[in-house]
Amino acid sequence: MLDNRIYTFLKLCELMNYRKTAESLNMSQPAVTQQIHFLEREYGCRLFEYNGRVLSKTPKCTELEVYARSVVYNDTVMRRNIEKPPVRKISVGATKTVGDYIIQEKVMDLLKLEDIELELVIDNTQYLLGRLNALELDILLIEGSFDKDSYGFRLLRQEELVGICSGEHPFANRTVSLSNLLEEHIIIREPGSGTRSIFEQFLQQSSYSFDSFARKSVISSFHLTELAVSENCGISFVYESIARSNKNLCTFRIENTEILHEYNYVFLKGTCVDELLELICL
């Protein structure tokens, strides 16, 4: 049985507010403070500190948070194994690119297994990492950027980000300059999505941003983005395998540029996910 102070600590790491943590756990605020002070004495270090009125984590707090999440997750897995339920529940998160275009076959395989109950959450990278930190998901399949020092991960594959446009667009099947690209109407994903983050990093390296484009629109749906691009309403950037899957789209590339990124399985460090990785491995 885990010490309840660990759960209090993790809730404070999540909410970063003593009052909200106390309300969430039906505790008094002094009780939360007392439990955190106990952990600080136990580990011999400060875990939280104030900068003005803003509560922040110390480096040692971040280390303990990673360890504590893995301990809680492993305890949950152990309890499931002891109970030996007739049906095994697994919770998987996938970014929209992965969910819409890459894992359909694997999902069908899992749904056909009579001893598996699957929860599949499709959302952007930041939302999924939050659910993973909250121990609400077992493992993620994402294409977005994440802190590799804070999570365990395994590479699925690497793929190139390419431009897509209508066959009627002047960019179709061409290589274009960055200056010409910025004259276009670009359709991008919502903040927090992996594809947007990757292309945004490329722009920043070139001292540009999405505001550098003549016009920009935000659409959180890949399918709507593809439709808009095929109707010559703008251009966008997607992974090459997605571009190849739609015959109504043409691709283009930016001269002297190759934007590569990874798809990764992501999980909490120190957690027992080997069996799960084997089950969902593509």
pLDDT of residue 84: 65
pLDDT of residue 13: 94
Residue 36 token pair = 């955190």
Number of domains in the chain: 3
Domain range for residue 13?
A: 4-78
**pLDDT digit string (tens) for 169-185?**
999 999 999 999 999 99
Last residue of a domain, one of 51, 78, 105: 78
Question: What is the distance between the alpha carbons of residues 190 and 144, in angstroms, rounded to a whole number?
Answer: 13
Q: What is the DSSP string of 88-130?
A: EEEEEEE-HHHHHHTSHHHHHHHHT-TTEEEEEEE--HHHHHH
Does residue 171 share a domain with residue 253? yes
Q: Are residues 61 and 90 in the same domain?
A: no
Length of the chain: 282
Structure-block tokens of residue 8: 């209090």
pLDDT at position 266? 95
- On whether both 169 and 249 belong to a single domain, the answer is yes
Strands 259-268 and 151-165: antiparallel
Q: Are residues 204 and 194 in the same domain?
A: yes
Q: pLDDT under 50 in the chain at which residues?
A: none
- Residue the block writes with tokens 């152990």: 78
Instruction: Measure the CA angle with vertex 127, ends 124 and 128; round to 5°.
Output: 80
> Which among 256, 280, 282 has a CA at the least distance from the CA of 90?
280
Q: How far is CA 276 from CA 91, 103, 149, 263, 266, in A?
A: 10, 15, 21, 17, 12
pTM score, two decimals?
A: 0.69
Local structure of 190: helix, strand or coil: coil
Same domain, yes or no, for 149 and 271?
yes
pLDDT of residue 85: 63
Residue 207 to residue 135: CA distance in whole angstroms:
38
